Amino acid sequence: MNLSGKTVMITGCGSGIGRHLTQTFYQKGANIVVTDIDESKLDFTSNWDKNRFLAYKLDVTSKNQWKDVIGKVRKKWKHIDILVNNAGIADAEFFVDIKDENHLDKPIDVNLKGTVYGVYYTLPLLKEGSVIINISSLAGVAPIPGISLYSASKFGVRGFTLAIAPELEKHGIFVYNVSPDAVLTPLLEKVKRYSASNMIFSGAILQCQDIEKAIIKLLNKPRRREILLPWWRGFLAKFGNCFPYLASSLIPLLTKKGDKKRKQFQ
């Protein structure tokens, strides 16, 4: 896919999925708006063509920073063709063990509100044919004990995405949800130390390339609402969400499986 001349904005580009997608879209010829809360992590763009990218610090929870960045994008490229709301955080901690009340806000603020802000503040720069891709999680399809707040935030992202999709499609803007299983990124490296993350490791461990392929597939086949990765885990997640009590009975088995797999990553 040649994206020459297209403008792509991605949040959370400093590492993991965001960084991989940023490099992929740049290689495919797109103009890139590269953002991250830690601007120092954007140094991988140092050898890029200065005319083809903008790099900015962006805390996705800050309305003012969104306004500032979008204003600069408008000045340079006038519009955005593809928006990828990718920035997110994850912690593995059982809810009953949370002592710091600040932990209650951050997943919702970054993962959910950050996505909502992203769509809201870029809307004026989106045009007919533009695409919004929100990165959710299979933890937003079926609830995952041990990461309850992350799961709640991703349920919100998925619900928001699927709700606005038919609204924006009337204006020629296509909105997609991508819900992957665990992905081998610094976020996964961070949580693997904690037993509360066992359920995360009970399924597939994806690579950033898997997310890239899913997104390219969505761009080539419009009008599809979402992709769950891998499909079989997505099917099980949807099935389990229909029968929550039955799904809960499988938690001890999945936790044991995940614990064994998690320790292999240490």
What CATH code is carried by the domain that includes residue 134? 3.40.50.720
Task: Classify residue 50: in a domain, yes or no.
Answer: yes
| pLDDT-based confidence at residue 265 (cuts at 50, 70, 90) | confident
Task: With a cut of 90, say whether residue 92 has pLDDT above it.
Answer: yes
Task: Classify residue 72: in a domain, yes or no.
Answer: yes
pLDDT of residue 224: 83
Task: Classify residue 253: in a domain, yes or no.
Answer: no
Report the predicted TM-score, pTM, of the whole model to 2 decimal places.
0.96
pLDDT of residue 221: 78
The structural domain count of the chain equals: 1
Task: With a cut of 80, say whether residue 251 has pLDDT above it.
Answer: yes
pLDDT of residue 136: 98
What would the pLDDT profile of 181-224 be if each residue is shown by its tens digit?
Answer: 999 999 999 999 999 999 999 998 999 999 999 999 899 876 78
Range of the domain at 227: 7-193+204-241
CA distance 7 to 178: 20
Which candidate, 261, 22, 233, 40, places its Cα nearest to that of 139?
233
- Side-chain-side CA neighbours of 59 within 13 Å: the count stands at 7
3-class SS string, 9-76: EECCCCCHHHHHHHHHHHHCCCEEEEEECCHHHHHHHCCCCHHHEEEEECCCCCHHHHHHHHHHHHHH
138 alpha-carbon distance from chain centroid: 11
Task: Classify residue 255: in a domain, yes or no.
Answer: no
pLDDT of residue 253: 94
pLDDT of residue 15: 97
34-59 mean pLDDT = 97
Q: Which of 26, 121, 150, 176 is catalytic?
A: 150
Among left, alpha and beta (phi > 0; psi -120 to 50; other), residue 227 is beta
Task: Classify residue 114: in a domain, yes or no.
Answer: yes
Q: Is the dihedral of CA 24, 25, 28, 31 positive or negative?
A: negative
Task: Classify residue 252: in a domain, yes or no.
Answer: no
What would the pLDDT profile of 62-87 be if each residue is shown by its tens digit?
Answer: 999 999 999 999 999 999 999 999 99
Task: Classify residue 1: in a domain, yes or no.
Answer: no
Supply the mean pLDDT for the chain.
95
CA distance 147 to 149: 6
Please list the residues that pair with 175 across neighbouring strands: 132
Task: Classify residue 183: in a domain, yes or no.
Answer: yes
Is 56 in the active site?
A: no
